[in-house]
Amino acid sequence: MKNLAINGGAKTIEKDFAWPIFDETDVQAVADIVQSGKWGNPDCAGEVAALEKNFAAYCGTKYALTCVNGSVALRLALIACGVKPGDEVIVPPYTFIATASIVIESNCVPVFVDIDPRTYNLDASKIEAAITPRTKAIIPVHFAGQACEMDEIMAIAKKHGVRVIEDACHGHGAEYKGKKLGSVGDVGCFSFQSSKNLTSGEGGMIITNDEELYQMMNSLRNVGRVEGGAWYEHHYAGCNYRITQLQAVLLSTQLTRLEEQTRRRHENGTYLNGLLEKIDGITPLTRGLGETLHSYHIYIFKYDRSKFNGLSKVEFSRMLAAEGVPCFMGYPEPLYKQPLFQKKNFMCYALPETVDYTQVKCPVTEKACYEEAVWIFQNTMLGTREDMNLFAAAIRKIQQAVVGN
Ligand SMILES: Cc1ncc(COP(=O)(O)O)c(C=O)c1O
């Protein structure tokens, strides 16, 4: 055990993985906007409109709309889909809180459906049992950048007349059967928060092919204004959810790198899978259920403590991080275990008294949180093959140290 970096031994990998990645082009683009003095975006025009046009073309959709962040993107999508107070929205419990909290903010009821143990995405085979006459939408999250089973999800949605809002906040540039994530459902939502694979510090984007949804979301993000209307003419209960020209130019320069970066992450992720599946007690998530390009916003593998002399996942993650592998134990618990849901700490006036999140149990998510899932961060997936070899070597080093052979 003395040779482990956590105990003062040499680290397996000595490298800083940069993020965000930028050069003079980004700096100059932002400097040009600063010098122009046109920082804001009152008409959703200029650099913002140019970015939206490029992003829609990149994703293969008719429309793309920027907004302040991924949470707002999801909320505007939900409202535009016509949800009413008390409607139910199906969400996975293994995701960032915003996927479910925007449902509450919209006065609707999040209904948690467990994830698939193979992919950690919403389990398509469990969705139908959760649908009721009040269900209005499903929000599949392409978790970590791996595509959900969209054919199955779209078929269920069509059968029951519900909308599909793809949470593609981890899925920039990734693909399902050759289509960019976010472009398969009714609406796709992205985050440009600082950890994301495409970032401007903060920001969001919504994509759709549906003109009616587009017009409504466009109005909602711009204080309820409508195209051709006057400045002080407000048709819907929207807010100022616009981004600045500074964010737009940064995203435009970052977007030119996204495809190459996504392919690099995909290749490294595939290579790392091959290395890790040879280690007893380490199982990479299953690939290939419709996914043709994985964006590896997170590289996830399953950890089995029984092959590591009972070492807990938390301790293992700490040891691996000390070895120089930027990693983390992931979500500590399923979303429904958060005080927000357990204590119903919200003002959702339409939530029926009968909804009780203390009774929810999603065993696959609980196992992922408490025992199994270990996350490696996306910027490392832009590294070299040798980096991937060292990640695997760090895990083997820990195993040898704790098992004692
Ligand atoms: C899966 C998922 N959905 C939604 C969001 C919300 O995005 P933002 O932080 O830009 O509001 C995030 C952000 O971390 C996310 O990871």
> Among the atoms of ligand 1, which is closest to the Cα of residue 202?
10
pLDDT above 70 covers a percentage of the chain that reads 99
Residue found by looking up tokens 């009780």 in the block? 356
CA–centroid distance, 129 to ligand 1, in Å, is 27
Across residues 253-280, what is the average pLDDT? 98
Cα separation, 168 vs 2, in Å, equals 43
CA 263 to chain centre: 18
> Among the atoms of ligand 1, which is closest to the Cα of residue 143?
1
Is there an atom of ligand 1 within 6 Å of 298 CB?
A: no
CA 212 to chain centre: 25
C-alpha triplet 220, 50, 266: angle, nearest 5°: 95
Asked whether the predicted pLDDT for residue 32 surpasses 80, the reply is yes
List, in sequence order, every beta strand (DSSP E) within 51-159.
63-67, 88-91, 109-112, 135-138
Across residues 369-381, what is the average pLDDT? 98
Is there an atom of ligand 1 within 6 Å of 170 CB?
A: yes
Across residues 358-370, what is the average pLDDT? 98
Burial 216-237 (b: 16+ CB within 10 A, else e): bbbbbbbbebeeeeeeeeeeee
> Among the atoms of ligand 1, which is closest to the Cα of residue 297?
16
pLDDT tens, position by position, 195-208: 999 999 999 999 99
**Cα dihedral across residues 42, 44, 48, 50: positive or negative:** negative
Asked whether the predicted pLDDT for residue 351 surpasses 80, the reply is no
Cα separation, 365 vs 401, in Å, equals 29
Across residues 42-60, what is the average pLDDT? 94
Ligand 1 probe mutation, 68, 76, 96, most atoms within 8 A of CB:
96
Across residues 378-397, what is the average pLDDT? 98
Protein residue with its CA nearest to atom 7 in ligand 1: 70
pLDDT band at 291 (very low <50, low <70, confident <90, very high): confident
Cα separation, 239 vs 243, in Å, equals 12
Is there an atom of ligand 1 within 6 Å of 253 CB?
A: no
Asked whether the predicted pLDDT for residue 177 surpasses 90, the reply is yes
CA–centroid distance, 98 to ligand 1, in Å, is 6
pLDDT tens, position by position, 75-111: 999 999 999 999 999 999 999 999 999 999 999 999 9
Question: How large is the greatest C-alpha to C-alpha distance in the chain, in angstroms?
Answer: 75
- How much is the pTM? 0.97
User: What are the chain's domains?
Assistant: 5-20+257-403 (3.90.1150.10), 24-254 (3.40.640.10)
Asked whether the predicted pLDDT for residue 288 surpasses 80, the reply is no
pLDDT band at 263 (very low <50, low <70, confident <90, very high): very high
Is there an atom of ligand 1 within 6 Å of 101 CB?
A: no
CA–centroid distance, 92 to ligand 1, in Å, is 14
| CA-based nearest residue to 165, from 177, 180, 153 | 153
